[in-house]
Amino acid sequence: MHLLLLVLLAQAPDPGAPTSVPAAPEAVNESLVRPEDFTLSDPGAPAHQSTLPWDFALAPPESLHVEAKDSGFDLIPVPVAAFNSDTGFGLGVVMLAYIYGKDYRPYRYGISAQLFATTTGFQGHYLAFDAPHLLGPVRVEARFEFHKDLYAPYYGPGNHTFPGRSLEGPDKFFGYQNVWTSDWLRFRVKPLGDSAPFTLYAGYEYRYHWVTPYVGSALALERPTGIGGGRNGKFFGGLLWDTRDDEQNAHSGFLVQFSGKIARPQTGSEWSYQGVTFGTNIFVSLWTPRLVLGLHGVADYLWGDVPFWEWNIVGGIAGVEGLGGLDSVRGVPRNRYGGNTKVYGNVELRWAAIEIPWGPAPLQIGLSGFYDTGRVWQPGEANGKFFDASQWHSGAGGGLRLMRRAAVIRADFGFDLETKRTAIYIAFGQLF
């Protein structure tokens, strides 16, 4: 059972109810700041398009559903538990700290930290910092991460690698040991005003990889660029146009994003390459807000001297893994296909079938049906024709949703339409 479910689905104040103004700052009812007021994203950042297997960061919304504080702090420990067919069972804890100050909204500083590990030997730990007004209207964010994956998947580049085969359990042919740190600093601003849908961001990320191939593995045999690990520093930037009615559980509106990155020796990288990403999410309510059609599409293109781990990273303000797995094509094994160019799309029908009164904010139990598809290209490989349906790797399935306020917990069953493989994913937040 999700331990986080007990915390996030606790009784909450009514988001639509008016909040009384206290006579003095010390009269603010601090008990109204509850875990379910917090969203699933980096502190202060837009919601993730999805949630990586090791990433359960929580953050308060831009405006809490309570009277803002002029002083003091909140400290919230949140236990987490998760499962998916690719990474196994995971347990951890997230610590959230928010420091308030007069005229700083929603808070002056936000700090979060996570410890998380799975039964397959994956570890994901981080420390994150957010200051919404450190430089006036410019938001400043920083994050320091450590990851260890004893059986990171490697299938080689291209759209047709090792047909019908995939990593299962402690597989030393398709797996390798990957240990890396990722530290980044990001600046975000809304040049048209806080209420406008337009956001600009830019920053710098420094990664260091320690790569250990198993003897006789696919990685050891192919020896792609980056097999020795090393420094990978790059600048990045992008823009967002977001009209969604709810970042965590949208019923209408759209999100369009465009981003780019560049790595050079001058940026602290051992490889010179660059990349661009374009993505869009569209949401339409069908007759009622409880029945929503969601569409999601992403195109990611890299060129230059690209290290192999970038073949399975899709860029954007919140990068995800792909192609295959929890964040891209459900049912298809995690990172099953990779290359310099990745394209994938998702169609999902969400129905909030049951609404249970639970204090002032109801608990919704929903169902979903989905179809995911995508493909990759790699220079020098036989990638197939773009419009040939047999070249696209697809998964379909359905799932259960538990939703209350900002909290969304999903359990999906995915079916690989090529290999007939099945997979289960239990995670926080919608896929997009």
Strand partners, 210: 179
Alpha helices by DSSP H, 183-287 = 218-222
Q: H or E stretch including 5?
A: helix 3-8
CA distance 144 to 123: 14
Write down the pLDDT at residue 44.
35
Write down the pLDDT at residue 1.
38
CA distance 265 to 275: 16
Which has more confidence, 151 or 76? 151
Write down the pLDDT at residue 68.
57
CA distance 15 to 34: 12
Report the percentage of the chain scoring pLDDT > 70: 84
In a domain, 271, yes or no: yes
62 pLDDT more than 50: no
In a domain, 224, yes or no: yes
47 pLDDT more than 60: no
Q: Which of 419, 364, 363 is nearest to 396 (CA)?
A: 419
As a 3-state breakdown, the chain gives helix, strand, coil percent values, each rounded to 5, of 5, 55, 40
CA distance 425 to 51: 11
Write down the pLDDT at residue 394.
97
- Asked which of 49-53, 184-188, 315-319, 401-405 is least confident by mean pLDDT, the reply is 49-53
188 pLDDT more than 50: yes
Q: CA–CA distance from 306 to each of 85, 202, 220, 344 (Å)? A: 29, 21, 18, 20
Which has more confidence, 223 or 103? 223
337 pLDDT more than 70: yes
CA distance 372 to 395: 5
284 pLDDT more than 90: yes
Q: Beta-carbon neighbour count of residue 301 at 10 Å? A: 17
38 pLDDT more than 60: no
Residues 6+ apart with CB under 8 A from 154: 174, 175, 176, 217, 218, 219, 308
Question: Rounded mean pLDDT of 243-262?
Answer: 93
For residue range 134-153, list pLDDT tens digits in order.
998 999 999 999 999 999 99
On the CB side of 341, CA atoms within 13 Å amount to 9
Q: Which of 145, 93, 79, 153 is nearest to 121 (CA)?
A: 153
Question: Rounded mean pLDDT of 190-198?
Answer: 93
Question: Rounded mean pLDDT of 74-82?
Answer: 87
CA distance 305 to 226: 9
Q: CA–CA distance from 59 to each of 107, 361, 394, 431 (Å)? A: 11, 19, 33, 18
Cα-atom radius of gyration of the chain, to the nearest Å? Answer: 21
Residue 325's pLDDT band (boundaries 50, 70, 90)? very high
In a domain, 74, yes or no: yes
Range of the domain at 307: 3-18+29-428
CATH number, domain of 333, equals 2.40.160.50
For residue range 102-141, list pLDDT tens digits in order.
888 888 999 999 999 999 999 999 999 999 989 989 999 9
For the chain, the average pLDDT equals 85
Question: Rounded mean pLDDT of 72-78?
Answer: 87
CA distance 252 to 355: 20
Q: Report phi then psi at 101, rounded to 5.
A: -155, 155
Residue 158's pLDDT band (boundaries 50, 70, 90)? very high
In a domain, 23, yes or no: no
Write down the pLDDT at residue 103.
83
Question: Rounded mean pLDDT of 371-379?
Answer: 96
Q: Beta-carbon neighbour count of residue 319 at 10 Å? A: 20
Which has more confidence, 370 or 53? 370
Amino acid making up residue 213 = P
Question: Rounded mean pLDDT of 380-395?
Answer: 87
86 pLDDT more than 50: yes
Paired sense of beta strands 313-314 and 288-304, if any: unpaired
Q: How many residues does the chain have?
A: 432
Question: Domain tally for the chain?
Answer: 1
